[in-house]
Amino acid sequence: MTSYANISLGLKQTCEKYPYKRAIVYPSGRDRNGRVLYSQMTFSQLDRQSDKLAFGLEEIGITRGTRTILMVPPGMEFFIIVFAMFKVGAIPVVVDPGMGIGRMLQCLQQGRPKAFIGIEKAHLLRKLKPGFFTSVKHWVTVGKRWFWGGYTLDQLMAQTDDPYPIAQTTRDEAAAIVFTTGSTGPAKGVVYTHGNFEAQIKQIREHFQIEPDEIDLPTFPLFALFDPVLGMTAVIPDMDPTKPALVDPAKIIEAVENQGVTNMFASPALLNRVGKFGKENHIKLPSLRRVVSAGAPVTPANIEQFSTLLFDHAQIHTPYGATESVPIISIGSNEILSETKKLSEQGFGMCIGRPICDTRVEIIKISDNPITQFHDNLKMPENQVGEITVTADLVTENYFNNHEADLLAKIPDPNGKIWHRMGDLGWKDSKGRIWFCGRKNHRVVTRDETLFTIPVEAIFNNHGNVFRSALTGAGPKHMQTPVVFIEPCSKPEDKNAFINELLDLAKSNPLTQMIEHIFIEKAFPVDIRHNSKIFREKLAVKATKKLNL
């Protein structure tokens, strides 16, 4: 029997339960007193509008299986378009615009799209760089169409109130292609199936105990996609989603207070910025039930700072995952602050919690080579560092048109399951918790030992004037010289004295006693999606030059 699945069926179910509940709330300006004006749309309206557009998309040839570039910022049109695409069975190709135009164009070309839906700026880009869009046959403009061809979104809204017959897509059929940011290597197109999305939504609902009256503030646009299926109102924040580290904290707090937000996603950079502002101004946010922070390691100090804004019933959750598999492991702030924080500061790694629901996680031997089959001999014993691997229904099984990436990241097992190699290192404790120790390709292999970024950096982060640190290796592979870069909280009065203090700190701990080279950086290079992952590769090049290796 064929197993049908389609993420848009979740919107239909939400619409039946809460037809007049607000689905989307969007800041559309301010009145003369500076108060925010909001546009909004109910679940019933979202369902009807996406039905109308689905008829229009089908009419022009955007149908089941059509890979379609989507370049539309978060807002009303974004939700209408995405759910219309799911209803017809088209496949959105989603690329983070923050990765830079050159890399973004390469990703779009790699997705071999047949259709293009975008705002005016996006169409201007494709006219300036036509060579990247030769495979595209159908063009749709969100807004005003200028000197280019194709249709406008308004033209495609069918004049009918009939419900659209949703495509009977299967669980293993491609639903979307989402590109990684390429912050730790080339950007890859991750193929999400309708079954992956279904499992993801189930896991989020069950683990975070999402309730019917929830209101979400998704500061990362892709996470907003799940809100209509989860029955949550999505309040679109007034911010540049490509620059969360530069967000205006007052606007985030304003949205929480105006809308009674119960759930908020925040990258570590945004969490830190809003938390610092809130703590300094003695702000409390009683409506928040949970804050979810992911995208990079979240330090206990960052969690502790933001916790001052919350009431006792609320927690900060730090789920772990990647574009290919998220969320798979999670831990709450109560356990972090009461138990694991002090161990993290001593260099044990960052505790990321236990596997969620029926997710299986194993720690395997560290290897940079492909692994052709999963077997018990790969597994590491408790308390020993290895690579984190995972299997679950939400774990994506392949990349789009990238066999080499599949070989390096996916491991089939004898039972027909696919294990995903996270590319992260960690260890499992006696309580079943996983401790994250850093990226596999960031480990520093010297003549005598292997150093892992997160444990080593924790020792330096204990210094009062260290905002963050970054371990990297200089010189040839497997004979590297360990180097630590420091981003201070404030410019040290005496740079040499500051470095000497840090060298003394290094000598006081067995994890760091062999480190002899410390450099100060005004600001670290970080990823574009969450503004939190440190580009240690760039720092490694700088270290090699500084040491003439």
CATH number of the domain that 376 lies in? 2.30.38.10
- Contacts (Cβ under 8 Å, ≥6 apart) of 305: 272, 275, 276, 279
Residues 519, 381, single domain; the answer is no
Residues 420, 501, single domain; the answer is no
What is the structure's pLDDT at 359? 97
What residues pair up with 468 in beta bridges, in sequence order? 487
**What string of DSSP letters covers 35-58?**
PEEEEEEEHHHHHHHHHHHHHHHH
C-alpha to C-alpha distance for 164 and 187, rounded to whole angstroms? 35
Q: Of 149, 170, 191, which one is at a domain's C-terminal end?
A: 191
Domain presence at residue 506: yes
Domain presence at residue 203: no
What is the structure's pLDDT at 183? 64
Domain that holds residue 383: 351-440
Tell me how many domains the chain contains: 3
Residues 44, 144, single domain; the answer is yes
Q: Check the CA dihedral 461-463-468-470 and report its sign.
A: negative
Q: Of 139, 168, 191, which one is at a domain's C-terminal end?
A: 191
Residues 392, 534, single domain; the answer is no
C-alpha to C-alpha distance for 549 and 544, rounded to whole angstroms? 5
Residues 357, 477, single domain; the answer is no
Residues 363, 491, single domain; the answer is no
Domain presence at residue 35: yes
Residues 404, 447, single domain; the answer is no
CATH number at residue 127: 3.40.50.12780
Contact 395, 195 (CB under 8 A): no
Domain presence at residue 230: no
Residues 357, 400, single domain; the answer is yes
Long-range contacts of 184-188 (CB under 8 A, 24+ apart): 184/423, 184/439, 184/441, 184/442, 184/533, 184/537, 185/441, 187/95, 187/99, 187/103, 187/106, 187/107, 188/399, 188/400, 188/402, 188/405
- Chunked into runs of 10 residues, the chain (549 residues) has average pLDDT values of 84 96 96 96 98 98 97 93 98 81 84 94 92 94 93 96 97 94 79 96 95 93 88 95 89 97 94 97 98 90 96 95 95 96 96 96 97 96 97 96 96 95 97 97 95 97 95 93 97 95 96 96 82 87 91
Whether the predicted model's global pTM rises above the 0.85 cut: yes
Contact 487, 465 (CB under 8 A): no
Residues 421, 466, single domain; the answer is no
Residues 138, 31, single domain; the answer is yes
What is the structure's pLDDT at 261? 98
What is the structure's pLDDT at 100? 73
C-alpha to C-alpha distance for 140 and 215, rounded to whole angstroms? 31
Residues 75, 151, single domain; the answer is yes
Domain presence at residue 497: yes
Residues 432, 446, single domain; the answer is no
